[in-house]
Chains A and B, each alone.
Chain A
Amino acid sequence: MGKCDENGSGMGEAMQLAAAKQQYAEHMDSLRAEGLLDDQFSELQQLQDESSPDFVEEVVLLFIQDSGRIIKNLTESLEQKPVNFKKVDAHVHQFKGSSSSIGAQRVKAVCIKLRMCCNRQDQLGCLFALEHVTREFEVIKGKLQTMLELEKQIVALGGTPPPFTDKL
């Protein structure tokens, strides 16, 4: 029985692992396909090795945390009257830098838009763009969190997540 159980659970674990891996791969594929993440993210993954096993997770969490802060700052800055566009620009620049570092290219693209609005001193445009940025950020945030979840599942099931590769 126990054996059976073990076997069953072993089988189940293996299947679960395979399923989790499959799901992880699909997830990463969709991230890639929808243009949410670009090569930079795989570069990040390559940076993760034995010396820094949680590098990706660390960076992702840092990104999520920092971005939340920046978005808050941005929102506050844009609600001020008059708007200090220089300050906004600095925030956007930061946001752009971090999103580009993590490979969140859609966030980055919208950041560029926001920055253009900022250069034009178009407050309304900025607000719209910020809304867009926030939305994109929420999407990527969700995706990244899902990814981390899946990774954790895989690790918990005793596997290693497959590397993020570019499918031709």
Chain B
Amino acid sequence: MRRRANQNWSQSCQMSDKSGAKLKLLQGRAGGGSDYSSPCISNGSGDSRSTRTVPLKGARGVYISKKKTMHHHHSSGAAGAGGKGGGGRERGGNPSGRRLGRQWWRDSGNSYLTKPSSSSAAAKGGSASSSSATTTSVWFEHWHTKLFILWVFFMALVSLSVYLQMNAEMLVRRRDTLKTMCEGRARMLENQFLASMNHVRALTALFTTLHISKQIAMFNQETFSQYAESTAFERPLMSGVAYADRVLHEDRESFEMSHGWTIKEMFSKEKQQVFEEYAPATMSQDTVSYLTSLDMMSGQEDRENILRARASGKGALTNPFRLLESKHLGVVFTFAVYSIHLPPDATPDERVKATAGYLGGAFDVETLVENLLHGFPGSEMIAVNVYDITNELCPLVMYGHTNVSKSENTYVSSLDFGDPQRKHEMRCRYNEDALPPWTAISTSVGIFVIGFLVGHMLHASRNRIDKVEENCRMFKELKVLADEASVAKSQFLATVSHEIRTPMNGVLGMLQMLMDTRLDATQQDYARTAQASGKALITLINEVLDQAKIESGRLELEAVPFDLCAILDDVLSLFSGKSRDEGIELAVYISEKVPSILIGDPGRFRQIIINLVGNSIKFTERGHIFVCVHLSEDMEMVMEGSDYSGDDDDYSDWEVDGPGCVPLDMKCNQFNTLSGYETADDRNSWETFELLLAQEQHSYNPDHDDHHWNFSDGNDVVNLVVSVEDTGVGIPLHVQERVFTPFMQADSSTSRTYGGTGIGLSISKCLVELMSGKMRFVSRPKIGSTFTFTAQFQQMHDSVHESMLRNTNSVLQVRPLPTCFQGMQALVVDGRPVRSEVTRHHLRRLGVQVMLILSLSQSECSAAAFHSTVGGGIDMILVDKDAWGAGTGIRFPHMLCQSASEHLRQRNKYFASSVGLSHGFIAARLPKMMLVATSMTDNEHKLARENGFTDSVVIKPLRASMLSACLQQALGVWNRRDQGRELREGSRSLHKLLSGKRVLVVDDNPVNRRVAEGALLKYGAQVECVNSGRAAIVKLKPPHNFDACFMDVQMPEMDGFEATEIIRKAEMEASECMSGGILTKYHPVRIPILAMTADVIQATQAECLLCGMDGYVAKPFEEQQLYNAVAHFFEAGYV
């Protein structure tokens, strides 16, 4: 019989019954050793009735609830962040999860903290970072920083939730796996167990049958052993079966005798003490042959089992205990064999009495179950323990190497081994802790990092934008400040200049008045000097004021009609003295295509030209200054054209011709420019100039009407290119870029040498820009500078007559050029094509046709001679003094005479033979010879006279007015006298027209009225004056005896147009009244009314006619125009 292994343990089990908690602690600490795994053995007793197989209900196991885990964690002092992890986390996995979680947090925190931006400081809860405390406070206020922090938190939450979800999913999967594995093992074990038990039961049934039929002797040890051995396969989990007889004490001796051995105690193998009954094993399987003769009732478990089995008639299982010999953990299964047939409802006593023996089987759980379970796949992954939990408080280990405590990660599957008194369960858990959920961790960390980076990127860019915006704002502020300062400066300058100018004007005015008084010569001189100084000062101040005005953008340009030629002539005359003194050639050329009258700001244009020419004069000691005006279209076209022809050609020309030219010219440094000196820009050299002329000629050709009028078709804008070329010292290269900077001169010595403030160019440039043009320059030191600017002007409408404009506009009131030279022909002799073109230009303005002679070649000379003598038609010959070099022109008449006489000789034999062909003869027949010179010495004058320039010497610069005066003097055409004659004739005819006529003058201005009256009186009219439109209406109420009315257009109260309309209305009524035929010739119903206006542009003829007027005259009266207007209606019908 089997007995308990350790008595002490049963006591400890009873103790543990009272204090479960303590036990639990003990159990928690218990290591993997199975030796200590069953500290408590609970006794169980009952009938072993349940022989039926337990149906498989699938998974009957449950996980331990989460609550308990929580509690457990709490009790083990591991509360904290890990507790947050929802959804049953493994105990083993939990710390690692928590550790990971913490790691993650710190990682992200680290990356956050290592960020140099202040947002890290912000993330720390707004604690100011030491490095950037000021900016942090600013930045932290930015919404986007807050947003960024929120975003980081949000991303942390998102990644955390992703992690948790993935982790939970993984755990669920893991648990499902565990559950499947555990259930499979449990059911298999159960099946095998039950199969073994069933076989033992069958054996029991056999023994009972034998006992009933008293044939038990059939079995002895050998047969039983053989039988058992041969049927061992039916009991897969049993190490062996044995049969024990029930022997009462009175039968002991006989039993011992019959068997030949004594009944022995199970553990000591000594002779058994005296008990009431014994259960010595008589037959046993070979595997448990050591049981023979041992009293089975001597073991605690066996005894209880036997008692329970025989009382219940069913199989009974022991607690797990150490089996004899093998010392393996196992259980013993016992069945009672009865000697009689018992009814199913037999009482336990009857059963005890009827008991004949016991059949027992030992389940060697440790080895056999192990063999069974090891057959399963994945058995190394999980730890499986089987417990006897009959005593719930003290589960006993039945199988298992490691202690599997009940925890959330343990799966428990209940087992039914066929003994209803006993309960078993299988606990499974993974051998190893779940691996850290790397996928979940990396995914969530990845999400967080990506989110963080995206947020950081946006935040950083937003910060950058903020910074840039801030900078931009600062710059704008600074710019505004700077602008304000600049404007203030300009305003200050403007104010101060103005303030100086006003008293200066007073001073000048007073000086002028002082000079008007009687002063002696010295006083006069002082006053003149003072005035000159004052004027210089005023000029300077005006310049400064201009600069200031331009800078503050307050300079406005006028838009009035002006005469470009007149302005240029004017400027030229201004500098003529200086240029003559220095022997510099000063010339102006204006393209014929440039309209003579332009609308723009003449004052400013003049200022620009004066600045440029003045500058050039200042820096030029020899050579020329050439002002050239072209239409920019032409210039562009020519420039393009020259580009087309190819620069290579030009260069090759230069290279090939260059060396060859020098000996030909015989004079070094001869260039084809105005004076022959080299210029900085070859724009005005003959090569370009010729092209330009051709271009202008081409498009000026009247045959090409479309070309000619192309600028008047458009919006009447005329674009001019004006270039001022000099052959002065040039501008040093290093100062060229700041030439247009105000108050900047080449260097300080410049102002010492040449004077000036250096403001002129800057002003000129600004003015040019105001005229929507551009100014640029080309300058080569020691060679010269060429300043070129474009400017935009308006063209006059064709409807406005030029002469009308000239009469009414003060700016245009230059003396009109005389017309007496119209149709004359001139010969210009000059070796320099550019210069000859300039001369031609000026002559052409006077209406003179020009032929050019450029070289002294025989043919040209003779042609000239022919034309000037016999051919006729040539009225004058202009020869440049320096036609082919200094002073060469003076000799020309002599050469001409020679060539002419030769020519004549060849042509005409009479002349050839005649002696009369003397020098004087020819000379007398030559046209007027004029010498054009920059300057003349007395010697040269003499020489010129001797050479035949008897008529005139024209001193350059050429100007139309000056030229015409010279021509008049030379040709004896006195334009003024002619004009006077015309005038006298005109006034005579006007007198004829107007004498005796009664004329009404209507003007509110007394001066005008008086002047008009005077003028009309002079022509014999009877004049009556009124000073308003109303008075005129009264006077002109028919019938009246006025022959004409001159009406001022602009009058207060009622203007001329209105008055005329009323007068016309009254006339209409009157004519209706007199429609009976009383209308006589001498009382014209319709009185001619002529508008008097100072502004022809405003009051055009059409407007006048529209109001019932008959014409208009400009104020003040100009004879010719007055005549025209008056003749128009007086000659028509009324004598």
Q: Which residues of A contact B (CB under 8 A)?
A: 27, 38-40, 43-44, 47-49, 51-52, 55, 58-59, 62-63, 66-67, 90, 93-94, 96-98, 100-103, 105, 108-109, 112, 116, 128, 131, 135, 138-139, 142-143, 146, 166, 168
Which residues does chain B contribute within 8 Å of A47, judged by CB atoms? 1011, 1014-1015, 1017-1018
User: A116 to chain B: closest CB distance in Å?
Assistant: 8
Which residues does chain B contribute within 8 Å of A27, judged by CB atoms? 516
Q: Which of B478-509 contact A (CB under 8 A)?
A: 498, 502, 505-506, 509
Digitize B493-531: 1 where CB-to-A-CB distance is under 8 Å, 0 elsewhere.
000001000100110010011001000000000000000
Query: In whole angstroms, what is the CA distance A35 to B1006 when docked?
Result: 24
Query: In whole angstroms, what is the CA distance A161 to B538 when docked?
Result: 35
Query: In whole angstroms, what is the CA distance A102 to B498 when docked?
Result: 30
Q: Which of B829-859 contact A (CB under 8 A)?
A: none
Q: Are A97 and B1094 in contact (CB under 8 A)?
A: yes
Task: Assess A59 versus B965: contact at CB under 8 Å? Given A93-B1050, A96-B1094.
Answer: no
User: B1107 to chain A: closest CB distance in Å?
Assistant: 19
Q: Are B1010 and A59 in contact (CB under 8 A)?
A: yes
Q: Are A62 and B1010 in contact (CB under 8 A)?
A: yes
Q: Are B1115 and A44 in contact (CB under 8 A)?
A: no
Q: Are B1004 and A38 in contact (CB under 8 A)?
A: no
Q: Are B1094 and A131 in contact (CB under 8 A)?
A: no
- From the candidates A52, A105, A116, name the one contacting B1017 in the complex (CB within 8 A): A52
Please name 20 pairs of A and B residues whose Cβ atoms are closer than 8 Å in the assembled complex, sorted by A. A27-B516, A38-B813, A39-B813, A43-B1015, A51-B1018, A52-B1014, A52-B1017, A55-B1014, A59-B1014, A66-B1006, A97-B1008, A97-B1094, A98-B1007, A100-B1115, A101-B1005, A101-B1116, A131-B502, A135-B506, A139-B512, A142-B516
Query: In whole angstroms, what is the CA distance A96 to B560 when docked?
Result: 16
A27, A98, A128 interface centre (most CB from chain B within 10 Å): A98
Q: Are B810 and A101 in contact (CB under 8 A)?
A: no
Q: Are B505 and A135 in contact (CB under 8 A)?
A: yes
Query: In whole angstroms, what is the CA distance A30 to B961 when docked?
Result: 20
For the complex, is B815 an interface residue (Cβ under 8 Å from A)? yes
Q: What is the chain A residue whose CB lies nearest that of B502?
A: A131
Ranked nearest first, the 4 interchain pairs of A and B with the lowest CB-CB distance are A98-B1007, A101-B1011, A47-B1014, A97-B1005
For the complex, is B1052 an interface residue (Cβ under 8 Å from A)? yes
Q: What is the chain B residue whose CB lies nearest that of A165?
A: B976
Q: What is the chain A residue whose CB lies nearest that of B975?
A: A168
Q: Is the interface of A mostly helix, strand, loop or mixed?
A: helix
Q: Are A168 and B961 in contact (CB under 8 A)?
A: yes
How many B residues, CB 8 Å from partner?
Answer: 37
Query: In whole angstroms, what is the CA distance A62 to B1014 when docked?
Result: 13
Which residues does chain A contribute within 8 Å of B1011, judged by CB atoms? 44, 47, 59, 101-102
Q: Are A63 and B813 in contact (CB under 8 A)?
A: no
Q: Are A101 and B1008 in contact (CB under 8 A)?
A: yes
Q: Are A105 and B1007 in contact (CB under 8 A)?
A: no
User: B1001 to chain A: closest CB distance in Å?
Assistant: 12
Which residues does chain A contribute within 8 Å of B1050, judged by CB atoms? 90, 93
User: B511 to chain A: closest CB distance in Å?
Assistant: 11
Q: What is the chain B residue whose CB lies nearest that of A49?
A: B1018
Q: What is the chain B residue whose CB lies nearest that of A70?
A: B1005
User: A139 to chain B: closest CB distance in Å?
Assistant: 6
Digitize B424-454: 1 where CB-to-A-CB distance is under 8 Å, 0 elsewhere.
0000000000000000000000000000000
Query: In whole angstroms, what is the CA distance A103 to B1116 when docked?
Result: 9
- From the candidates A43, A109, A166, name the one contacting B815 in the complex (CB within 8 A): A166
Which residues does chain B contribute within 8 Å of A39, judged by CB atoms? 813, 815
Query: In whole angstroms, what is the CA distance A125 to B1117 when docked?
Result: 32
Q: Are B1007 and A51 in contact (CB under 8 A)?
A: no
Which residues does chain A contribute within 8 Å of B1118, judged by CB atoms? 43
Which residues does chain A contribute within 8 Å of B498, judged by CB atoms? 128
Q: Are A101 and B1007 in contact (CB under 8 A)?
A: yes
User: A35 to chain B: closest CB distance in Å?
Assistant: 9
Q: Are A105 and B810 in contact (CB under 8 A)?
A: yes
Q: Are B1007 and A63 in contact (CB under 8 A)?
A: yes
Query: In whole angstroms, what is the CA distance A97 to B1056 when docked?
Result: 15
Q: Are A59 and B1017 in contact (CB under 8 A)?
A: no
Query: In whole angstroms, what is the CA distance A108 to B1095 when docked?
Result: 13
Q: What is the chain A residue whose CB lies nearest that of B512?
A: A139
Q: Are A66 and B1014 in contact (CB under 8 A)?
A: no
User: A54 to chain B: closest CB distance in Å?
Assistant: 11
Which residues does chain B contribute within 8 Å of A40, judged by CB atoms? 1116
Q: Are B1014 and A146 in contact (CB under 8 A)?
A: no
Which residues does chain B contribute within 8 Å of A43, judged by CB atoms? 1015, 1116-1118
Task: Assess A168 versus B965: contact at CB under 8 Å? Given A43-B1116, A98-B1005, A101-B1005.
Answer: yes
Query: In whole angstroms, what is the CA distance A59 to B1015 when docked?
Result: 12
User: A82 to chain B: closest CB distance in Å?
Assistant: 20
Q: Are B810 and A97 in contact (CB under 8 A)?
A: no
Query: In whole angstroms, what is the CA distance A116 to B557 when docked?
Result: 11
B965, B1010, B1052, B1118 interface centre (most CB from chain A within 10 Å): B1010
Q: Are A139 and B509 in contact (CB under 8 A)?
A: yes
Task: Assess A66 versus B516: contact at CB under 8 Å? Given A38-B813, A44-B1014, A166-B815.
Answer: no
Which residues does chain A contribute within 8 Å of B505, judged by CB atoms? 135
Which residues does chain A contribute within 8 Å of B961, judged by CB atoms? 168
User: B426 to chain A: closest CB distance in Å?
Assistant: 110
Query: In whole angstroms, what is the CA distance A47 to B811 when docked?
Result: 24
Query: In whole angstroms, what is the CA distance A52 to B502 when docked?
Result: 41
Q: Are B1008 and A98 in contact (CB under 8 A)?
A: yes
Query: In whole angstroms, what is the CA distance A89 to B599 when docked?
Result: 23
Which residues does chain B contribute within 8 Å of A48, judged by CB atoms? 1014
Query: In whole angstroms, what is the CA distance A59 to B1018 when docked?
Result: 15
User: A166 to chain B: closest CB distance in Å?
Assistant: 7
Which residues does chain A contribute within 8 Å of B513, judged by CB atoms? 139, 142
Q: Are A138 and B509 in contact (CB under 8 A)?
A: yes
Query: In whole angstroms, what is the CA distance A168 to B513 when docked?
Result: 26
Q: What is the chain B residue whose CB lies nearest that of A132?
A: B505
Q: What is the chain B residue whose CB lies nearest that of A47?
A: B1014
Query: In whole angstroms, what is the CA distance A93 to B1005 when docked?
Result: 9
Q: Are B1008 and A135 in contact (CB under 8 A)?
A: no
User: A151 to chain B: closest CB distance in Å?
Assistant: 15
Known: A38-B813, A97-B1048. 18 other contacts (CB 8 A): A27-B516, A44-B1011, A47-B1014, A47-B1015, A48-B1014, A49-B1018, A51-B1017, A52-B1014, A59-B1011, A62-B1006, A62-B1007, A90-B1052, A100-B810, A100-B1116, A101-B1008, A128-B498, A142-B513, A168-B965
B506, B509, B1116, B1118 interface centre (most CB from chain A within 10 Å): B1116
Q: What is the chain B residue whose CB lies nearest that of A131?
A: B502
Digitize B90-130: 1 where CB-to-A-CB distance is under 8 Å, 0 elsewhere.
00000000000000000000000000000000000000000
Which residues does chain A contribute within 8 Å of B1004, judged by CB atoms? 94
Which residues does chain B contribute within 8 Å of A100, judged by CB atoms? 810, 1094, 1115-1116
Query: In whole angstroms, what is the CA distance A47 to B991 when docked?
Result: 13
A63, A98, A101, A108 interface centre (most CB from chain B within 10 Å): A101
Task: Assess A143 versus B516: contact at CB under 8 Å? Given A47-B1018, A51-B1017.
Answer: yes
Q: Which of B688-728 contact A (CB under 8 A)?
A: none
User: B510 to chain A: closest CB distance in Å?
Assistant: 10
Which residues does chain B contribute within 8 Å of A101, judged by CB atoms? 1005, 1007-1008, 1011-1012, 1115-1116
Q: What is the chain A residue whose CB lies nearest that of B1015?
A: A47
Q: Are B1006 and A109 in contact (CB under 8 A)?
A: no
Q: Are B1052 and A102 in contact (CB under 8 A)?
A: no
Q: Are A108 and B1014 in contact (CB under 8 A)?
A: no
Q: Are B1005 and A94 in contact (CB under 8 A)?
A: yes
Query: In whole angstroms, what is the CA distance A142 to B810 when docked?
Result: 22
Query: In whole angstroms, what is the CA distance A105 to B814 when docked?
Result: 12
Q: Are A38 and B1018 in contact (CB under 8 A)?
A: no
Query: In whole angstroms, what is the CA distance A128 to B545 when docked?
Result: 15
User: B1010 to chain A: closest CB distance in Å?
Assistant: 5
Q: Which of B547-568 contact A (CB under 8 A)?
A: 558, 560
Task: Assess A97 versus B813: contact at CB under 8 Å? Given A47-B1018, A51-B1017, A131-B502.
Answer: no
Query: In whole angstroms, what is the CA distance A131 to B1015 when docked?
Result: 32
- From the candidates A38, A55, A66, name the one contacting B1007 in the complex (CB within 8 A): A66
